[in-house]
Amino acid sequence: MINAIITGVGHYVPERVVTNHDLAKVMDTNDEWIQERTGIVERRHIEPGSKISSTDLGVKAAEIALKDAGITAQDIDFILFATLSPDYYFPGNGVLVQKALGCKTIGAMDIRNQCSGFVYALSTADAFIKSGKYKNILVIGAEVHSFGLDMSDEGRGVSVIFGDGAGAVIVSATTEDRGIISTNMHSEGEYAEELAVLFPGTRLGWSDEVMKEGHGITKKELYPHMNGNYVFKHAVTRFPESIIEALTEAKLKPEDVDLFVPHQANLRISQFVQKQLGFPDEKVFNNIQKYGNTTAASIPIALSEAKAAGKIKQGDTVLMTAFGAGFTWGSVLIKW
């Protein structure tokens, strides 16, 4: 039987640190307000005007993951790139990574599932590996949110949350009795507009007429819109459901999990879910305090940091769960 294991991990974040106090200088907010509601202390943003893209960040994370796995770009036979902040409207970032790394003329696919993007990508990689189609898949989650945030008082409820960064893993085929042991993916499109960026897109149109003054395109369409309380309510419901589903499929219980790496959306969500499932603090890895919500990049960044900190060893059962726009959610359970 072929199993899919993670053989390499890596992450990269911009050097520029943006603290809550920095944000308080440009909008009506403060450190206490942000920490109380999100747990975030600081985040990373690219330098204004630098034109650093999500592909650029993803390539740096991928290079670290390749080195960690002990392979080269020539060994990669498929690329999966999860992002909500692509370099271009089209083509996708996956092909840009293929070019930048000098991979062979392999397939590359972009995954547009926002905060759940990395879980969806990892689940897809698992299926490809187990089918025998590919042997080494590069999975990247990368975001540059800072280019599209409303840094005014009107946008503070969303803009204080998000940061830039990238994480990557190498998923490889093995005949060892370890690797990804269960996955699940779900969606509930009924609530798609509760967390969304509406423009550009074909529903509103994209032409000279759309961009004319007075046409009706406002900040609500241009910038991220989030019904925060609504998202929180659904997240704390779907997180545990997905976790129990993954554990049940693997015939395991919450106490069998060695490390829980949740999507870093909001520290309060992670703490709520942790309490519900009975995970002790030492079995949960959070780093949202340093990076904010990096959407598709948040789980691989956290996974990379957890491994570097010695919190993951071979044979450990590691659980990754995400919930985000769409609504979409899911889990990946792996025996490391």
Question: Which residues carry out catalysis?
Answer: 115, 263, 293
Q: Where do we find the tokens 């395991």?
A: 252
CA pseudo-torsion sign 116, 118, 122, 124: positive
Whether 192 and 40 have beta carbons less than 8 Å apart is answered as: no
Q: How many CA atoms lie less than 13 Å away from 117 in the CB half-sphere?
A: 31
C-alpha dist (Å) from residue 243 to 123, 193, 286, 329: 14, 25, 17, 10
Closest C-alpha among 13, 17, 111 to residue 326? 111
Question: From the centroid of its chain, how far is CA 312?
Answer: 19
Report the DSSP pairing between strands 165-174 and 136-143.
Answer: antiparallel
Helix and strand numbers, DSSP H then E, in the chain: 12, 13
The alpha-helical segments, DSSP class H, found in the chain are 20-24, 31-38, 54-69, 93-101, 117-131, 156-159, 208-211, 219-222, 228-249, 267-277, 288-291, 298-308
Instruction: Give CA–CA dist 274/321, Å, rounded.
Output: 12
Whether 217 and 204 have beta carbons less than 8 Å apart is answered as: yes
Closest C-alpha among 299, 311, 303, 4 to residue 181? 4
